[in-house]
Chains A and B, each alone.
Chain A
């Protein structure tokens, strides 16, 4: 370029500049055109190739073929279906009309391609190649390569259209707003099959993982565009949808068709229904009002006990009678204690056999931290146990029974908090948040939110952590680890040995091992046949076994020694505004079926919400057998935890669950970071919750009236909420508990007694010094 200024350049190079500008303009035009072209091409490609491939009817056809196979030949199928499906009648006839017509067409197509010169369309050859494929039925079609398969599918579409007068793509489509989990594909397919089997008509179902957010769901549903099946997790979320008026009441239908409240785990009931209200306003109020009617606290808690007792299921009108049911559990979520059996054995520590106490667990963890993990890493005793759960397990409740006040500042909570802090900062058996973050980081994957938890499980899998609180869904990751690190190398080694051996038995074993290997490679959840499993187990040497993750499962230790699980269910709710309510309710019924619940249990998707399918012989110990080392994933502890020790979340009509979680969470964070002590944390949380409830009551007259009706006293916005509730209770008890009134007499004194739980000396001092003339304080 010329070194002169721009202006002179214009004079000198005016001509060339003009030319270059023109070139620029032309170039720009072409670039724009090119971009538009690329965009058009991509769009066309999307419509022409990608979208048709996602055509839904392939899955429906697959369901038809599978069901036809399952029900056997056309001759005796009618009777079978009449037994299985309650609807019976014409729809099933049409099912078989379609299948029979299709069978003819399929035979013709097969004959054609065979006369073309055999080739790949020979079903027999596929049957040999794919174990488990039947020769006689129709499901072999599904195993064909896509190009071959499409001819059969096209034939099916035609048959269907002829038989029903409508296209396959016109079949109703249910939308289920659930997560993006591979297991859902299996589950939706199961539903299509189940529906065909029981109702004889096809129904399609798709998942919608990107619209699970509650706000979206509510807005979409009120606009009439919501999912047909809404997913909720836990009682609080269910109540949001109920309050928003988008949840359909399925109580009667559920009772009639056998998927009522009484069929699910007691602790999961509040996740699928709410107690029937006496008046129109607010659902949770009814719970409290019932209890106020009984007047006495003990009775109220007795009722509560009955609610969570599976045996008390059909008292009076049954539990189903007092509940309004809105959904059905897809599964139930909670975590138990995992531990490494080999690590315990090495350290010479006995494995926990039944419920155990925190003190025992800490002692064990302390001994374990003295050992060194693989590669010279320091051993971590226990991970993933939180202050929240520890306090709940110790008996520290956020709210009293009817949710009118927080009673969190109890000796139980304080003790749990103290133990929790001590585990990190005194006993050093659990990493503090800073240590955990650093360890998470050393894995390299710890960048996003939630990665700390993911990395805690990775540290456990690496045997750095000896004990870890985890869920049954972690089977897949642990099984893959065992598979890739131990089982596959062992199989390969054995296959190498067998390669030289031309004997018949060797060939047989090699074939078995190879098929097992292939099945495991595809998915660790595919059940192996008994022979395959035996062959696979046979190749594991003692040394291999020592390198496996050898999992033990036990109850989560608690301060009291009685296990406690805070459980909630992931549930499906029927959208009240859905035009496909009928099908959606059938889906709930499907959720109560054996087919679905076995699938949940067998794929280690936590456990199902129906105790009947967990405790029977085939229950969670059924196929597939867990891979070697992970047998404990079928441990009875899982079902026991849910059946005997789980409790639902306690809710209050006066404070939102999320707000409560936020208020408590902030304080617990400081507790976890050792910034405040146990007593202070408990007191702060209680104060904050009570202050929030108070604020809500003062603002909302309806809420206030409800509160006053429940408690039985007029709300005094100045006085401590807990004090008011306690005092009202004592009055109801007829002045029997004067001790209590001494405790909660004056607003000031409540502090002293609460925060001096074990120090009588301090309390005396305080009393002596601080005898202010409050009415009850003087009396005391």
Chain B
């Protein structure tokens, strides 16, 4: 041992000092300072050395404004957006676990010769398949007179060009699959791991820009694939009564909830009988969460599908007189009428635009009967009812992903899940899987456990610490995230502003309200702290078992 304790401490401190100083000056101090700012009305324009005013202490006023005061509508709105984007987290975790399981197993033939032969065969098949797809889909030479495709409004693609693009896309997809298969044959899981991790190597913004082009409403790759499918679905939708679709959607949702409840019940039952620990219950919750999220999305999609066919075509024949008669009737019935009914009826009119005022009036009236602050909510509710803008006979159209308020957040979630599946989480799971002792699998196999049972009883519990870590990090990241997406992909439009973006807005574009912005940051911090504490409590029990 060298020197006294004190001396050793000093030496240690000397080594730590550069980092410690940086931390104190650039991290600790700003944190403390922002806490101070959050209880003042600090605004950069009003309170600085030159303007001579000093910020006033306002206590918890900023927090009150956010939680229940004049900023609360924005705050909770943006908080809701943040939470919405976090729907993707369980899906992402499940996906990355699945990817890790797939990539963990060695998929390469052991003999080098087998690899070469396999890759060769895959390569030949790829080339043949690509040629075949090309031969099947290639539209031939362009006709003399290009026929404009009228399906897409002002978008300037001729039908021939569209067919050409689709053919190219099909060949490209085939080729991509083939190349993956060929290289996979040759290099096995190492290659696939590299491919899966590739998106994480790219800068976030680059990814977002890529997805922005994928999400283009017309001509984007996603809708180019989706639209033909929807077109084929059209006849089905037209021939199906609306209630069936609604019923189906609702049934799906109910089934999901029922199944989730049952799962939970089984878990709790097992816990009670001491068959399983709280950890497995936590695992169940995660599974159930992702399942419910997924099925709700599907259910919602199903409910949305037939919205167009909902509109009774009879109304389109209404003349001006009938219209006014309907309006008169509505005006008198309003207090008794369900607001969705009002909206639906009004939108069924041949041309809803001129009657938007009427609807506003009706709703304002309805709202005024209650409290004035309801107005906004009522209108929002009607808008969310998603009836407007559809006219019978339009056909199903693919979503306007990043533009419409209904789809923008969903689009961001889908992208988030995709990013999460191949990201760092997968690597962590791969590392976790490598650490599972093979003896356990052997023992399970000897006991006659099936693959699923081995996963549930060996892999999943063994991965608990990894899952725990990932859940905590994802939750924190989820609450803080969404800023770049909103800035790059939607510019804060289409209702995609999240809390992090809100902080930026308040502090740097909206009157430089640094005090209020700091308060948002601290509220966010508190939320993260609470969530993490809950996670930690549940998780540490799980991992200690």
Mutual binders A and B = yes
Interface of A with B (CB < 8 Å)?
A: 213-215, 218-219, 221-223, 240-241, 243-246, 373, 376-378, 380, 414, 418, 421-422, 425-426, 428, 431-435, 437-439, 441-442, 446-449, 464, 576-577, 656, 658-659, 662, 666, 669-670, 673-680, 683-684, 687, 691-692, 695-696, 698-699, 747-748, 751-752, 755-757, 759, 761-762, 765-766, 769-770
Min CB–CB distance A635 → chain B (angstroms): 28
B491 touches A244 (CB 8 A): no
Contact (Cβ within 8 A) B357 A756: yes
Q: Take A673-B403, A762-B331 as given contacts and tell me if A244 and B220 are in contact as well, using a CB distance cutoff of 8 Å.
A: no
Q: CA–CA, A240 to B218, complex, Å?
A: 42
- Whether the Cβ atoms of B48 and A762 lie closer than 8 Å is no
Q: Which residues of B contact A747 (CB under 8 A)?
A: 372
**Docked-complex contact B508 and A215, CB < 8 angstroms:** yes
Q: Bound complex: CA of A674 vs CA of B389, how far in Å?
A: 7
Q: Please tell me if B512 contacts chain A, counting CB pairs below 8 Å.
A: yes
Partner of B46, one of A243, A576, A679, A751: A243
Can you list 7 A-B contacts with CB-CB less than 8 angstroms, sorted by A residue number? A245-B51, A418-B354, A434-B217, A441-B213, A442-B219, A675-B389, A752-B365
Q: In angstroms, how far is the closest chain B Cβ from the Cβ of A449?
A: 5
B488 proximal to A (CB < 8 A): yes
Q: How far is the CA of A142 from the CA of B389 in the complex (A)?
A: 65
B356 at the interface (CB under 8 A from A): yes
Cβ contact within 8 Å between B212 and A447: yes
Q: Closest residue to B488 on the A side, CB-wise?
A: A449
Q: Point out the residues of chain B lying under 8 angstroms from A675, CB to CB.
A: 383, 388-389, 404-405
User: Shortest CB–CB separation between residue A3 and chain B, in angstroms?
Assistant: 10
Q: Which of A464, A680, A696 is in CB contact (< 8 Å) with B360?
A: A680
Which of B150-158, B274-282, B287-295 has 4 or more CB atoms under 8 Å from chain A?
B150-158
Is A433 a contact of B403 with CB atoms below 8 Å?
Answer: yes
Query: Who on chain A is nearest to B364 by CB?
Result: A751
Which residue of chain A is the closest to B158 with respect to CB atoms?
A: A376
Are A656 and B356 neighbours in the complex by a CB distance under 8 Å? no
A414 touches B403 (CB 8 A): no
Contact B45 A434 (CB under 8 A): no
Would you call B400 an interface residue if the criterion is a C-beta within 8 Å of the partner chain's C-beta atoms?
yes
| B331–A215 CB distance below 8 A | no
Asked if B357 contacts A755 (CB within 8 A), the reply is yes
What secondary structure prevails in chain A residues at the interface with B?
helix
Q: Is the CB of A218 within 8 A of B512?
A: yes
B469 within 8 A of A: no
Given contacts A439-B155, A679-B360, contact A658 B493 (CB under 8 A): no
Beyond the given A676-B379, A759-B358, please list 13 additional residue pairs across the A-B interface where CB-CB is below 8 A: A222-B48, A376-B146, A378-B155, A428-B154, A432-B153, A433-B400, A673-B405, A676-B356, A677-B359, A683-B360, A683-B364, A684-B379, A757-B357
Q: Closest CB of chain A to B230's CB: distance in Å?
A: 15
Q: How far is the CB of A646 from chain B (nearest CB, A)?
A: 25
- Point out the residues of chain A lying under 8 angstroms from B434, CB to CB: none
Known contacts A215-B508, A677-B352, A680-B356; is-contact A439 B156 (Cβ 8 Å): yes
For the complex, is B368 an interface residue (Cβ under 8 Å from A)?
yes
Distance between Cα atoms of A544 and B509 in the complex (Å): 48
Shortest A115–chain B CB gap in Å is: 60
Please give me the residue from chain B that is nearest to A679 by CB atom: B357
Contacts A442-B219, A761-B324: A656 and B511 contacting too (C-beta < 8 A)?
yes
Cross-chain contact A669 with B494 (CB below 8 angstroms)? yes
Given the contacts A442-B219, A677-B353, A679-B357, A219 and B156 also touching, CB distance less than 8 Å: no
- Bound-complex Cα distance A674 to B491 (A): 19
Complex contacts, A433 vs chain B, CB 8 Å: 400, 403
| Contact of A762 with B213 in the complex, beta carbons under 8 Å | no
* Contact yes or no, A243 B45, CB < 8 A: yes
Contact B403 A677 (CB under 8 A): no
Judged by a CB distance under 8 angstroms, whether B216 is at the interface is yes
5 A-B pairs closest in CB distance: A677-B356, A695-B70, A679-B357, A245-B51, A438-B218
Q: Interface 1/0s, chain B 181-205, versus A by CB < 8 A? A: 0000000000000000000000000
B35 interface residue, CB < 8 Å from A? Answer: no
Evaluate contact between B153 and A243: CB separation under 8 angstroms: no
Q: State whether B156 touches A378 (Cβ < 8 A).
A: yes
* Cα of A757 to Cα of B216 in the assembled complex, Å: 39
Q: How far is the CA of A752 from the CA of B217 in the complex (A)?
A: 38
In the bound assembly, the distance between CA atoms of A428 and B152 in angstroms comes to: 12
Nearest CB of A to B188, in Å:
16
Indicate if B52 sits at the interface (CB-CB under 8 A): yes
Q: Whole-angstrom distance between the alpha carbons of A759 and B324 in the complex?
A: 11
Are A219 and B213 neighbours in the complex by a CB distance under 8 Å? no
Residues of B within 8 A of A377 (CB): 156
Partner of B50, one of A213, A577, A679: A577
B44 interface residue, CB < 8 Å from A?
Answer: yes
Query: With A670-B383, A687-B375, A755-B357 in contact, do A380 and B511 touch (Cβ < 8 Å)?
Result: no
Residue pair A244, B51 in contact (C-beta under 8 Å): yes
Closest CB-CB distance, B207 to chain A, in whole Å? 12
> Please, what's the 1-or-0 string for B347-382, where 1 marks a CB less than 8 Å from any CB in chain A?
000001111111111001100100010011001000
The residues of A that contact B494 with a CB separation of less than 8 Å are: 669
Write the chain B residue with the least CB distance to A376: B146
Question: Of B156, B327, B353, B511, which is within 8 A of A762 by CB?
Answer: B327
Is there contact, CB below 8 Å, between B146 and A441? no
Q: Which residues of B contact A761 (CB under 8 A)?
A: 324
Enumerate chain A residues within 8 angstroms of B495, measured Cβ to Cβ. Answer: 666
Residue of chain A at shortest CB distance from B149: A378
The residues of B that contact A244 with a CB separation of less than 8 Å are: 44-46, 48, 50-51
Docked-complex contact A674 and B218, CB < 8 angstroms: no
Task: Chain A residues near B157: list those with CB within 8 A.
Answer: 442
B447 on the interface (CB 8 Å rule)? no
Of the residues A678, A696, A766, A769, contact of B353 by C-beta under 8 Å: A678
Q: A244-B45, A244-B51, A418-B353 are in contact. Are A676 and B156 (CB under 8 A)?
A: no
- Docked complex: B478-492 residues within 8 A CB-CB of A: 487-488, 491
Q: Which residue of A lies closest to B77 (CB)?
A: A666
- Chain B residues with CB under 8 Å of A439's CB are 154-156
Closest residue of chain A to B156, judged by CB?
Answer: A377
A218 touches B155 (CB 8 A): no
Known: A448-B209, A676-B383. A756 touches B50 (CB 8 A): no
- CB B77 to nearest CB in A, in angstroms, measures 10
* Contact (A380, B154) CB under 8 Å given A218-B48, A434-B403, A437-B217: yes
A431 touches B509 (CB 8 A): no
**Contact assessment for A765 and B331 in the assembled complex, using a CB-CB cutoff below 8 Å:** yes
B505 with A662: CB separation less than 8 A: yes
B545 at the binding interface (Cβ < 8 Å): no
Asked whether, in the complex, the Cβ of B52 is within 8 Å of the Cβ of A245, the reply is: yes
B258 contacts chain A at the CB level, 8 A cutoff: no
Interchain CA distance A678-B352 in the complex, whole Å: 11
Assembled-state Cα–Cα distance A759/B70 (Å)? 35
Chain A contacts for B493, CB-based, 8 A: 669
* Chain A: minimal CB distance from B37 (Å): 14
Assess the B45–A240 pair: CB atoms within 8 A. yes
Residues of A near B156 (CB, < 8 A) are 373, 377-378, 439, 442, 464
Set of chain B residues within 8 Å of A684, measured between Cβ atoms: 376, 379
| B 25-59 to A, binary, CB cutoff 8 A, 1 in contact else 0 | 00000000000000000001110111110000000
Q: In the docked arrangement, what's the CA distance between A119 and B495, Å?
A: 69
Contact A221/B50 with A687-B375, A755-B361, A766-B361 known, Cβ cut-off 8 Å: yes
Distance in angstroms between the alpha carbons of A380 and B152 in the assembled complex: 13
Closest A residue to B355 using CB positions: A677
Is B148 in the interface zone, CB < 8 Å from A?
yes
- Interfacial chain A residues near B217, Cβ < 8 Å: 434-435, 437-438
Tell me the nearest residue of chain B to A718, going by C-beta: B372
Contacts of A373 in B (CB 8 A): 156
- A219 contacts which chain B residues (CB < 8 A)? 44, 48
Considering the chains assembled together, what is the distance between the CA atoms of A762 and B327 in angstroms? Answer: 9
Contact check, B361 vs A438: say whether CB atoms are below 8 A apart.
no
What residues of B have a CB within 8 angstroms of the CB of A666 in the complex?
495
Q: Are A769 and B332 in contact (CB under 8 A)?
A: yes
Give B369's nearest chain A residue, CB to CB. A748
Assess whether B353 is in contact with A770, with CB atoms less than 8 Å apart.
no
